[in-house]
Amino acid sequence: MAQHGFVFRKGRSWFLRYRHDLIVDGKQIRKQKCIKLADYCDRYRREGDLDELVAEKMAGVRQAAKCPKSGQMFTTYVEETYLPYAKRTCKPSTYAGRKTYWEHYIKPRVAKYALRDFTTAIVYGLLDDVAHTHRVNVGSVSKLRAVLTSIFQYAINTGDFPGRNPTEGVILPESATKPKPTSPRLVTRCRRS
């Protein structure tokens, strides 16, 4: 029987509570999850006004249930599935770059997420946090986005991630600094006599 979720209002917000399966330490466990759907306002005054939002969210939950690995924690998925794939198929320098970006910038920020939890907003927040914390330039943030795109593209192609790639359409955060322009080289010309 498909679950429908439980909608409730707390304060000035509407929330949805539902169950989802996660894979932790190789074992599947069922946890309860609660997410904010919308603010209480004229548009969302009654529980029935939220039907479309609930249907959209629960469709995503049901779709994710069809992909067993989507419940795996993101760090576990990348280290046990994606990085070995990248090592087998990429040049050593490309693999080294992806692994460095993973270990230095991404891994410390994604420990609480399962693979299926990622949205465009989460990816943007991750890039923004990296840009604020490390003061990296636009090129580095762009490479970081490319690594994430590669991870999700692989997960989609292997049927491990439901839906579209959450890195599609992610803009680079304003907090990333522009690379400093290089000074023009002084070119000396030799005159021939």
In angstroms, what is the C-alpha Rg of the chain? 22
Query: CA of 173: how far to CAs of 61, 129, 132, 155, 182, in Å?
Result: 29, 9, 9, 25, 23
Are 152 and 161 within 8 A, CB to CB? yes
- Name residue 139's beta-bridge partners: none
pLDDT in tens, 57-94: 777 777 666 666 777 889 999 999 999 999 999 999 99
Q: Report pLDDT for 65.
A: 66
SS3 14: strand
Walk across the sheet containing 27-39 and list its strands: 6-10, 13-24, 27-39
Q: What is the pLDDT of residue 123?
A: 95
Length in residues, the chain: 193
Determine the Cα–Cα distance for residues 118 and 137; give it in Å rounded to an integer. Answer: 24
Tell me the pTM: 0.67
159 and 67 Cβ atoms separated by less than 8 Å: yes
Highest mean pLDDT among 28-37, 74-83, 170-179: 74-83
pLDDT of residue 192: 54
pLDDT in tens, 111-137: 888 888 888 999 999 999 999 998 888
Structure tokens that stand for 132 in this block: 């604020």
Structure tokens at 128: 């923004």
Identify which has the larger pLDDT, 65 or 12.
Answer: 12
Q: How confident is the model at residue 179 (pLDDT cuts 50, 70, 90)?
A: low
**Nearest partner of 143 among 130, 154, 133, 156, judged by Cα:** 130
Could you tell me if 77 and 159 are in contact, meaning their C-beta atoms sit under 8 angstroms apart?
A: no
Average pLDDT in the chain: 84
Domains and CATH numbers, the chain: 6-66 (no CATH), 68-193 (1.10.150.130)
What is the pLDDT at residue 161? Answer: 85
What pLDDT does residue 47 have?
Answer: 87
Between 81 and 184, name the one with better pLDDT: 81
- Token pair listed for 20: 């989802």
Check whether 183 has a pLDDT greater than 60: no
| pLDDT greater than 90 at residue 38 | no
